[in-house]
Amino acid sequence: MKKIIYYERNGRFCKEESLSLENLKNTIGKMSKCCMKDGTIITGFADPYRVYKNSPLPFDEKVHDFIYLWKWENLDEKTHRLIGDDIHKYDQIFQRVEIQEIESMECILHSNPRWGTELTNRFDYFKSDKC
């Protein structure tokens, strides 16, 4: 069975569930790592609702046969700050991921910067957290 595995921010296992369209809804906004059938690994913040890469979030309330993983395009990983002018510094890079090609998916709970974590495009645990 294909699974979605959830970890606390410090890397401690939290739970797992089957990789289904319904359960993919729970991944929205979380830093995620998709292990693909061909052996590649794709990381980014999960967006299971987006239909087109430039559509507003959420575009609709159903998961299709793909999800998008996105990253900040203009992020300085050393300072954890967005760089550039006010027009372009918030630009994002979207990668479409076909659900049928995903072998497993891992997500870090509360990994989105709005939960108080530093800005990063990396799938990293926050070892100093006391979750």
Identify residue 87 by its one-letter amino acid code: I
> 3-25, pLDDT tens digit by residue?
999 999 999 999 999 999 999 99
pLDDT digits (tens, 9 = 90+) for 56-83: 555 667 788 999 999 999 999 999 999 9
Asked if 84 contacts 63 with a C-beta cutoff of 8 angstroms, the reply is no
Q: What is the dihedral of CA 23, 27, 33, 39, to 10 degrees?
A: 30
pTM for this structure? 0.88
Tens of pLDDT, residue by residue over 19-53, are 999 999 999 999 999 999 999 999 999 999 877 66
